[in-house]
Chains A and B, each alone.
Chain A
């Protein structure tokens, strides 16, 4: 059992164990949506919201149903965790999309394209799987999910800023696009390594 405080885990998830720069999760939408600030922040906020909520849901389902000593079901169903987690995520995103469409068409049009994209964002499923691997309690899992979202948003906003600056640079043709983005992200990852030892997630 892990008795690191939830606050420490939050800080760790944002800096020392950043889900994008340390665990490489959430790269696809990171590359596609980092051209304008509004897009980046909007996507980051959506990811954070979905991440925190689905972490709570998946925690409940995993410890309430899937594990052998669960109160609701006495069988060991942990081998179904991948399929159940992704189903929960897909259903939740679908539900959120329907609610937003019903209650705020304006927000729906602003966010619209992002929500289905989030379902296949590996960060969401990845955080759920890490929650199981690290054996977090509920509060720790929430801190990890929320921190993960905040950390992801931070990095995508930073990269957006960098890409806007790079728009004025005279890059050799082969490097434009994905290649330079990867290299710049690598340098950012190096900078983030400076946070190591600040807090520990265990």
Chain B
């Protein structure tokens, strides 16, 4: 097996070398013996034997070359040589390594996010079979559905292993001395079948526990077990307390399990027979299902559509207008981040590409300087392959060192991302692990090849010594170098245009008139739960009392409750009917449930009519407020005040308020109906308008509630401005990152322009000197180089603009009130690039002309 031997020889080349030496010295020893037998002295014999044999060293190498074609030795020698060559030019090496470290570091960091957020599957067995189930209606779009409908789907659909539902809410944990906030998930039957995880300790829920009046039961998280019970192995005999009731712990979930979110402490059984789960219109339940083995998404969708058609005939009033929606759970969780992440990844890859092109240009210039060295190596008998390999090794060494430094950079960037984008889904999964390192390794190889191949090929093309002195043979035009520069400029124009559009969007967003005043408003929650009071009116009374008491505190001007914060993405559209106007077309509007004081707290003016009154009965108000958009769109020829609006029961429109960007500050105000009910849920969001810094009100609020509701926890204190900020943190981060990429790209491109032109000038300095000596005008020479550089820059800018326009459509969903082809932005970018590049061109062009010709000519 000669090839096997060859391979083995490559690996154990040192042994072979030793063997060859032994074989050769044996030969010499035998020859010496023979010569001595013929009567020569020992020294003479040795001398003659050596002479006859020639250089042992050369023999050894030639013999070894017969053994192995490409040995590890060659590689090591190349690496050694490369390191030495690079250390001789530390400036060059450091520039390249730093460029690569930044380029690959940023690339690795973004990839680690993509990997964690988009590529890796969720931490469940066969996680790709998990789907989110929602319903879509004409008027409200995709929304969560009713628990009873999910029960029906589970019962009737044949393509699912199981379907379940859940809701999460913060509750007051009174197990310890002080009440604390605990995150509770109320889960439907078969929840554990869907997620495919069993409790690490104990059991799941029984059917009886899923019925009202059944035994109380709770599954606790590993974290909670640790925090509250110190991992007590007898925890199954213990209970937790919620407000004033005890729940028997029936099991502990594994540490790795965190669904619907990582911070869930308790899972409690949903009562399948409760009024709120049996109500087909009470749509607040998240549906999640597990597809049966072998079932495709498409099949499941058709199956569920069939089931829903059946339900529509059975319950025409509630079920005929909706369609079930099946989305892979991962897609549902990742949602809008996907586009942003790919945008970041795309731009960071473009940046890396620019860096590679830059390095390739540097290597090319370096190759030109090393013509002499290469020519000498050819003269000494090196093959083109070995010279090219040597040059490639250099770029491989650079790429490798750059990658190692890049991983360190990536670790830093990752940490920064976590701080800057805390709302990113699955953020805790982001880490630099084996997969990411493999990616880095792969990109290192790509980078080494991208950077090194063309220069290695080019530079190894000079086989004679003469060319190293023949100045005339050096082309000063270097079309390849200029092409590389053009690519850099074009790519950086594209990046800059994208970044500029995002910046302008963000700027417009920060100046938008939202219709309310978020400054000096504090938001928080007070724990509570459905079913904690026998009569809901008690809950209504409690919330109203809390609002009134808090409003009396010094430093607090007014308080309100709401179901959702204004200015944050989200919201539910509902279908209404105006009782007095006999119109066929349905009216759709956002429905928000707020306390009447909401408008005062947020400084939303009442434009017409008067403020609704606070309802005192348990079903809420009979009065609503509508915004101006609602009134002007749906009630044209008369005042909307006094009309009755009906979703289920008719409510009187008490007044009209100003338009507010309720469903996101990046969205135009839409017709909105405000349901004046402070207690639409037991755990509404509280808003407090404060005098001065909202954070100063935290302590007074805590102490008031301790006095008022000693068993409840108060938590999630966040100023409203910050909430809105956080909601758009992803936008901001995306913009900041992209701007920094774009500016880096621009500076790299300018370095490329500068370097290439400087080099062109240096090659022609003799010619320039001569021309000046012969009376050429210096301005003419400056102009000549200026034209040379700017011609490349301008055509590259044009190409870059065309590329930006091509990418514009993908970008439009991330922009706010600006077109992706906005001429002002693109024009500005064009001017900026040309201006900056002009400076990069002007410096070497001027330097060419100011040199004293005599000096240059003498130096030659």
- Whether A associates with B in a native complex is no
